[in-house]
Amino acid sequence: MKATSPYSPAAHEMALLQERLDLLRREHQGTLRALDNILLERRELRRVNAAAMNILEDLEEEKCRSLDAQSALLNMLEDIEEERREVERTRAVLEAVNRELEAFSYTVSHDLRAPLRAISGFSRAIVEDCSEALDGDGRRYLELIQDNVHRMGILIDGLLAFSRIGRQRMNTSDIDMDAMFHEVFHEVMAQEPERDIKFVHAPVPPLNGDALMFRQVLVNLLSNAVKFTRGREGAVIEVGYAADVEGGAYYVRDNGTGFDMQYADKLFGVFERLHLAEEFEGNGVGLALVERIIARHGGRVWATSILGEGSTFFFTTSGVKMA
Amino acid sequence: MALQSPRILILEDSSSDYELARRELVQGGLGQEIEWAKDRGSFLEALERTEPDIALLDHSLPGFDGISAMRLLRERLPDVPAIIVSGAIGEERAIETMRAGATDYVLKDNIERLVSVTQRALHEADQLRARKEVERELQESRKRYELLFSSSNEGISMHELLHDDDGVPVDYRTINLNPAYERMIDLPREDVVGTTASALFGRPLHLDRYRYVMETGESVSFEDTEIRPGKVLLISAFPFEPMRFATLAVDITYRKELETQLEERARELARSNSELQQFAYVASHDLQEPLRMVIGYLALLQKRCNDQLDDQAREYVRFAEEGAARARNLVRDLLEYSRVGSRHKPLAEANMEHLCDLACTNLREQIMEENAVIDRGPLPVLLVDEVQMVALLQNLMSNAIKFHGSSPPRVNISCREGRNEWAFCVRDNGIGIEPQHQERIFQIFQRLHGVGEYPGSGIGLAICKKIVERHGGRIWVEPCIGGGSAFFFTLPKRNRS
Amino acid sequence: MIATKDNEILLVEDDSNDAELIMRAFRKGKLATRVVHLRDGAEVMDYVANARGGRGMARLPKVIVLDLKLPKLNGLEVLQRLKSDALTKDVPVVMLTSSQEECDIAKAYALGANSYITKPIEFDAFSKTVTDMGSYWLRLNRTKRKNEGDM
């Protein structure tokens, strides 16, 4: 270009052009900046999107886990089902065994009793009809025959009662044990009116259980106490509740002959014979019955004794109602 | 994928500008499918005809502009990215264009940027599509999850592990729970969410287990009785998020009761079983002596006092003696029954033929009386309890002889070999057993006939069943075609080890 | 002990020893002019059916002593038939059972049995109970008949 003066028309045009270009450039920059800002916003959005994608992945995992949890649950449910079936099977087997026992007991009571009844009945009849004709020996034989039948009868009855206790359904209710101890003691004493026994009765808590069964327990324990004190001057029978023994236990104490502690664990065995049992006319099943009943009530029964001084029988149960 | 050969729609009225753009795209590897629209009309038509993956829009054309084009594009294909290509544009317009939804812009001065911008836009569009897909799946998964969460019978809860200043976990806070869990813990939601375990239960229950879960990443299951006294819950805990674990709770109180009942029943079962044995044993054992005495005294009475008795008394003595004999047989059978279960003799090899012959010998009186004929086929050598086997065979044969009809009894004993067992058969030509009684007869004391008709206490077959079962076999009866019964019993084959 | 000309006791018992002893007890108690002894359940219905002919009620027994366990037709079934037949439903029935198994006794009462006696092993008590039972029902029946006769 030729040298121009600043004020020549070409220079002026140049300057204008330059200005225009600058302006344009400035506008352009502004636009570019605005556009960049928008892009930045977009990029920000993209970053947020990416973060969202991560969250999505986590949620995906969550979904998988919940599916895992679902299948774990199904497995658990299947196990529960299987267990329920197992319970049913055992129940069925138990029922079968119980039926066998029932048939057994039922038939024993029928098939064994019948011939025994015949023996007893006919020997009786012979005694009645031929009493003058019979000599001493004959009468003695017939008496012995009847005694033996009597023995067998008691044994059979005891065994049947024991078996029945194991099979019977329990009817539970709240039992006033104070009242029951009282009643049973008087019942037992009514059988032995000539005996003079002091009855010491400390208050006992009520319990929840089968009333008939507990009545049997008290009858057996109190009858035993009465028997053990036979021949004892100043016989005393104490009943009460010892709160500090094994979390709380009812007791029946007597000051009778007691028993040798060596045999303590045999006392409640079903078919253990202690000399005591026969000596005191029992059939050996009474205490076994007590043990059975207490066991069915979730408790325990045991006894301590000092030979010649007395015995104490304790029992616990899971249904004691503390006031 | 669209990125490979995307369909590109270019809206541009200037052919030179179009050429420039096209060249860039071809060079950039994106030139496979380029569509050129010069004006509104052809733009619309191109939109209808093809679905472009991306649109490059000139900012302003005669009678048309990029923004309007974009709007049209958005109406039809909302997800397709649009790139504004412009010469110099006013700042305001440019911003307006971007705000209107253009994905990006390229200045014609900087046309080299076109390819990278296009690719990026396409990529973003893909991602957007993918994201929308995932979002949709997520929505559905969310819905399913919500449903599972809220309607599930199992209690679901999420918790956050809390640490002390040394970073040791000391407690946890519940952040979510479902209605089922609310029911299980018997607390309203508002009281639980955001509350720590210490605040709810007095102490952080099972914290050690949850720590284990978080540390190892393994899930654990355990039974809990403390969350809600009276209920037993089976809880599974598993890690859920960093510092967070989830638990699934199932109320198994009922199942626990069943288990306790089951245990109780099992104990009763064991007790009942042994009681049956003992019962039979004692009844028989303790009854034997008194019975012996009775029989003895009755005999004495008869011997010594016979002349003292009148006819009726003598008859009575006879009745009593018969009763005593019956009782004694019953007691003896009971004793045998109880012994079957209780004796644990080791099994020994025995020849069943010898045992069968032995049983016959024991029965010779009965055989002679009834004119019975017994024959047997070959029988194997097996591991058995000899005494019980003889008793078994003797019982079966005795029955076969006893229950005869009008013709003399014929009894046949045979055996068949199976894969895992031997099947024995004792067949007779007697009166047979009606189908309805065929199972009953093996039960103890089931007598089908009156006492007078056929003697016997009714224990025999029950004893047989017990013996067979103790050996691991089965016993049953089938009628014979010509009349009579066939008693079958199996004995499993045992290894001689 | 009151015995009238037409007192008849029907005893249904299949065990011959028990029957012998029970009839002995009746004899000793001089309860009845006639004791009819049947051995199975089916025979009872036949006997009662025949008793209806011609002479009407006169030939029905005054008391039926019925054993639970009988061949052919068991005691409970006989009881049910007796109590559902218009003619026989008013005849008192005393069940004989050999055990105290409650379900049997409950069932018997449900079917209309008037009373029951358990057959114990030892006989004296049994003997007394049987005679007491028998005379009670005989007297009761007689009173009822007399009242009905007055109407």
Mark which of A126, A151, A167 sits at the end of a domain. Answer: A167
Q: What is the ipTM of this complex?
A: 0.76
Residue B284 contacts residue B334 (beta carbons within 8 Å): yes
pLDDT digits (tens, 9 = 90+) for B427-458: 999 888 877 777 777 766 555 555 445 555 56
In a domain, B136, yes or no: no
Class of residue A293 by CB neighbours under 10 A (exposed 0-12, middle 13-18, buried 19+): buried
Residue A7 pLDDT > 80: no
Residues of chain B positioned with their CB less than 8 A from the CB of C70: none
pLDDT digits (tens, 9 = 90+) for C4-33: 446 788 999 988 888 888 888 888 777 767
Instruction: Tell which of C17, C22, C67, C122 to mutate to test the B interface (max B CBs under 10 Å).
Output: C17
Cβ of A109 within 8 Å of Cβ of C17? The answer is: no
pLDDT digits (tens, 9 = 90+) for A47-103: 655 666 666 666 666 666 666 666 666 666 666 667 667 767 666 666 666 666 666
- E strands present in B252-378: 348-351, 373-376
Token pair for residue B480? 């014979």
So what's the pLDDT on residue A3?
46
pLDDT digits (tens, 9 = 90+) for B226-255: 888 888 898 888 887 788 888 888 888 877
Q: How confident is the model over A291-297, as a mean pLDDT?
A: 84
So what's the pLDDT on residue C2?
37
Mark which of A143, A167, A191 sits at the end of a domain. Answer: A167
How far is residue B332 CA from its own chain's centroid? 48
Mark which of B225, B251, B277 sits at the end of a domain. Answer: B251
Of C17, C20, C71, the CB nearest to B450: C71
What is d(CA C83, CA C91) in angstroms, rounded to the nearest whole number?
8
In a domain, A34, yes or no: no
User: What residue in C sits closest to A146 (Cα-Cα)?
Assistant: C122
Residues A305 and A235 in one domain: yes
Residues A121 and A204 in one domain: no
**For the domain that residue B453 is a member of, what is the CATH number?**
3.30.565.10
- Higher-confidence residue of A162 and A257: namely A257
Chain C CB within 8 Å of residue B290 CB: no
Total domain count, chain A? 2
Residue B354 contacts residue B386 (beta carbons within 8 Å): no
Instruction: Please state whether beta strands B485-492 and A197-201 pair in parallel, antiparallel, or not at all (unpaired).
Output: unpaired
Hunting for tokens 């007095």 — which residue is that? B202
In a domain, B394, yes or no: yes
In chain C, the N- to C-terminal Cα span, in Å, equals: 27
In a domain, A8, yes or no: no
User: What residue in B sits closest to A298 (Cα-Cα)?
Assistant: B264
Residues A280 and A191 in one domain: yes
Residue A226 contacts residue A185 (beta carbons within 8 Å): no
* Residue-range definition of the domain harbouring residue A214: 172-315
Q: Report the amino acid identity of residue A210.
A: D
Q: How confident is the model over B261-289, as a mean pLDDT?
A: 67
Chain C CB within 8 Å of residue B451 CB: yes
Residues B481 and B381 in one domain: yes
In a domain, A243, yes or no: yes
Token pair for residue B163? 């640490």
Mark which of A167, A182, A211 sits at the end of a domain. Answer: A167
Residues of chain C positioned with their CB less than 8 A from the CB of B323: 17
Q: Residue A130: which of C29, B315, B303 has the closest Cα?
A: B315
Instruction: Please state whether beta strands B60-61 and B373-376 pair in parallel, antiparallel, or not at all (unpaired).
Output: unpaired
Residues A176 and A298 in one domain: yes
Residues B280 and B163 in one domain: no
- For C78-94, the DSSP string reads HHHHHHHSTTTTTS-EE
Residues A176 and A196 in one domain: yes
In a domain, A320, yes or no: no
Q: How confident is the model over B117-146, as a mean pLDDT?
A: 75
What is d(CA B17, CA A109) in angstroms, rounded to the nearest whole number?
118
Residues B462 and B405 in one domain: yes
Residues B357 and B488 in one domain: yes
In a domain, B1, yes or no: no
So what's the pLDDT on residue B206?
94
In a domain, B137, yes or no: no
Q: Which CATH superfamily is domain C8-142 in?
A: Response regulator (3.40.50.2300)
Q: How confident is the model over B142-164, as a mean pLDDT?
A: 79
Of A114, A122, A153, the CB nearest to C122: A153
Residue B84 contacts residue B59 (beta carbons within 8 Å): yes
Please state, rounded to an integer, the average pLDDT across all residues of chain C.
Answer: 76
Calculate what percentage of chain A has a pLDDT beyond 90.
20
Residue B41 contacts residue B64 (beta carbons within 8 Å): no
Mark which of B340, B358, B382 sits at the end of a domain. Answer: B340
**For the domain that residue B18 is a member of, what is the CATH number?**
3.40.50.2300
List the strands of the sheet with B33-37, edge to edge: B33-37, B7-11, B54-58, B82-86, B104-107
**For the domain that residue A188 is a member of, what is the CATH number?**
3.30.565.10
**For the domain that residue B297 is a member of, what is the CATH number?**
1.10.287
So what's the pLDDT on residue B48?
86
Taking each helix axis from N to C terminus, what angle separates C75-84 and C102-111, rounded to the nearest 10 degrees? 20
Token pair for residue B294? 């009775």
In a domain, A63, yes or no: no
* Residue-range definition of the domain harbouring residue B382: 345-492
Instruction: Please state whether beta strands C8-12 and C63-67 pair in parallel, antiparallel, or not at all (unpaired).
Output: parallel
So what's the pLDDT on residue A274?
42
What is d(CA B438, CA B485) in angstroms, rounded to the nearest whole number?
10
- E strands present in A58-181: 172-175
Residues of chain C positioned with their CB less than 8 A from the CB of A153: 120-122
Residue A36 pLDDT > 90: no
Residues A148 and A226 in one domain: no
What is d(CA B374, CA B390) in angstroms, rounded to the nearest whole number?
15
Q: Report the amino acid identity of residue C45.
A: M
Residues A235 and A290 in one domain: yes
Mark which of B205, B231, B251 sits at the end of a domain. Answer: B251
Buried b (16+ CB within 10 A) or exposed e, C91-119: bbbbbbbbbebeebbebbeebebbebbbb
What is d(CA A184, CA A192) in angstroms, rounded to the nearest whole number?
13
pLDDT digits (tens, 9 = 90+) for B31-88: 888 889 988 899 989 888 888 889 998 888 888 888 888 888 888 888 888 888 887 6
So what's the pLDDT on residue C3?
39
In a domain, A58, yes or no: no
Of A113, A149, A152, the CB nearest to C98: A113
- E strands present in B319-469: 348-351, 373-376, 381-384, 410-417, 421-428
Residues A180 and A146 in one domain: no
Which of A29-43, A300-314, C50-64, C134-148 reaches the highest mean pLDDT?
A300-314
Torsion of CA B193, B194, B197, B202, to 10 degrees: -100
What is d(CA C51, CA C59) in angstroms, rounded to the nearest whole number?
5
Query: Is B453 in a helix, a strand, or coil?
Result: coil
Q: What is the DSSP letter of B441?
A: G
So what's the pLDDT on residue B320?
92
Residue B40 contacts residue B63 (beta carbons within 8 Å): yes
Of B319, B323, B450, the CB nearest to C14: B450
Residue B268 pLDDT > 50: yes
**Which residues in chain C (66-105) have CB-CB distances under 8 A to chain A?**
69, 98-99, 101
So what's the pLDDT on residue A4?
45
- For B70-131, the DSSP string reads HHHHHHH-TTS-EEEEESS--HHHHHHHHHTT-SEEEEGGGGGGHHHHHHHHHHHHHHHHHH
Q: How confident is the model over A247-264, as a mean pLDDT?
A: 87
Residue B54 contacts residue B34 (beta carbons within 8 Å): no
What is d(CA B103, CA B117) in angstroms, rounded to the nearest whole number?
9
Residues A114 and A235 in one domain: no
So what's the pLDDT on residue A52?
60
Residue C131 contacts residue C35 (beta carbons within 8 Å): no
So what's the pLDDT on residue A98?
64
Residues A288 and A191 in one domain: yes
Hunting for tokens 């004694």 — which residue is that? B328
Residues B260 and B157 in one domain: no
Total domain count, chain B? 4
pLDDT digits (tens, 9 = 90+) for B279-308: 666 666 778 888 899 999 999 888 888 888
Residue A286 pLDDT > 90: no
**Which residues in chain B (303-322) have CB-CB distances under 8 A to chain C?**
319
Instruction: Tell which of A58, A59, A107 to mutate to test the B interface (max B CBs under 10 Å).
Output: A107
Q: What is the DSSP letter of B463?
A: H
pLDDT digits (tens, 9 = 90+) for C102-130: 667 788 888 888 888 877 777 666 677 77
In a domain, A83, yes or no: no
Residue B281 contacts by C-beta under 8 Å, 6 or more apart in sequence?
A: A271, B335, B338, B339, B342
In a domain, A240, yes or no: yes
